[in-house]
Amino acid sequence: MKTFYRRNLPHWHPEGKSIFLTWRLYGSLPVSVIRATRTARNGCATQDSPGKRFKLLDTALDSAAFGPLWLADPEIAAYAEYPILRSAELGRYELYAFVIMPNHVHILLEPRAPLARITNVLKGVAARDANATLGRKGKPFWQDESFDHWVRNSAEFERIRRYIEWNPVNAKLTPNPEDWKWSSASSHFASSPSIPGCVFGSLAKGATHA
């Protein structure tokens, strides 16, 4: 069975599959990049593949050359991290990997609740607390649309998990994944008490998500 919902983009979520999610800060991409990653109104893809469009989007975000970088502030990053970990504790999903970058978030999970409800909580709680601290009452914090991709097999699962945890290294923010505090790869996170519903590191390599 597949779950389908539509906002600006069509979203297909096969039941029992892991999902790779990305969302970003409001205004964090220039119009030129947005145009290049947009699909047609009828839901048909543009000439480039979804993978190429995502790579263009994520490369632009990693360059941090445009828009706000509120998540570079440790206090604001903590607001984004809290609902991710808390939702895993509450059993809304199995959490396999995550990273909070200066202007976007990546997460790999297997939903135990409707995905739209999950993302509403993850983005809504962080936006409320961050905006209160930043004095941005009534202003958008996150871009409304998110990128999502369901994982086809175990090899892709491992590639995505590694991509997420190595994102700070590839963006030249840190020399080692474990040195980035706001990540499932961080030494800070690994030393914390284990969280029910989470599977990290080498444990994820044995997961079957075909």
Per-residue confidence band for 75, with pLDDT thresholds at 50, 70 and 90:
very high
96 in Cβ contact with 204 (< 8 Å): yes
Alpha carbon distance 33, 200 (integer Å): 32
Tally Cβ neighbours within 10 Å of residue 180.
25
Residue 210 confidence (pLDDT) above 50: no
In the prediction, which pLDDT does 204 show?
39
Alpha carbon distance 105, 66 (integer Å): 16
Per-residue confidence band for 199, with pLDDT thresholds at 50, 70 and 90:
low
Report pLDDT digits (tens) over 144-192. Answer: 888 899 999 999 999 999 999 999 999 999 999 999 999 999 977 765 5
Class of domain 2-205: alpha beta
Residue 2 confidence (pLDDT) above 60: no
In the prediction, which pLDDT does 82 show?
96
Alpha carbon distance 78, 20 (integer Å): 21
Residue 37 confidence (pLDDT) above 70: no
What value does the mean pLDDT of the chain take? Answer: 83
Label residue 162 exposed, middle or buried (CB < 10 Å: 0-12, 13-18, 19+): middle
